[in-house]
């Protein structure tokens, strides 16, 4: 599944902890991106989980019926999906996310 990182809310990822003015080389940017990667993976996992939950609810709803899923079921689904996403994100996805973080750092 291709993820559009620009649609993910990264506001809780602490980019302000990075002194961008001190970063000079590609390696320094990459090092900071690797440090921020776990928090960014969490946010991407949450976005994937939310989208998946909404799709499941749409697909489970049959004409004339209501799907009643509790808030706790949704929270548990999201928590498990995030955990699974963080563990199973491919090297390519991680690399693309690192590149996206570097782009954010360069533009800040």
Predicted TM-score of the model (pTM) = 0.86
Confidence of residue 65 (pLDDT cuts 50, 70, 90): low
Return the percentage of the chain with pLDDT > 70, whole number. Answer: 95
DSSP letter (8 states) at residue 21: G
Tell me the C-alpha distance between 24 and 21, whole Å: 8
Q: For the chain, first and last CA: distance in Å?
A: 28
Written as six digits, the tokens of 48 are 């994937």
Q: What average pLDDT does the structure give for the chain?
A: 92
Q: Tokens 């960014």, residue?
A: 40
């Amino acid at each position: 599944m291709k993820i559009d990182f620009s649609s993910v809310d990264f506001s809780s990822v602490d980019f302000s902890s990075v002194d961008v003015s001190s970063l000079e080389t590609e390696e320094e940017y990459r090092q900071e991106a690797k440090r921020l990667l776990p928090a960014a993976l969490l946010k991407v996992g949450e976005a994937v989980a939310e989208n998946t939950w909404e799709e499941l609810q749409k697909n489970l709803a049959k004409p004339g019926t209501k799907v009643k899923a509790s808030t706790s079921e949704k929270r548990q689904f999201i928590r498990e999906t995030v955990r699974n996403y963080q563990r199973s994100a491919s090297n390519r996805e991680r690399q693309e996310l690192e590149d996206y973080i570097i782009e954010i750092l360069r533009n800040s």
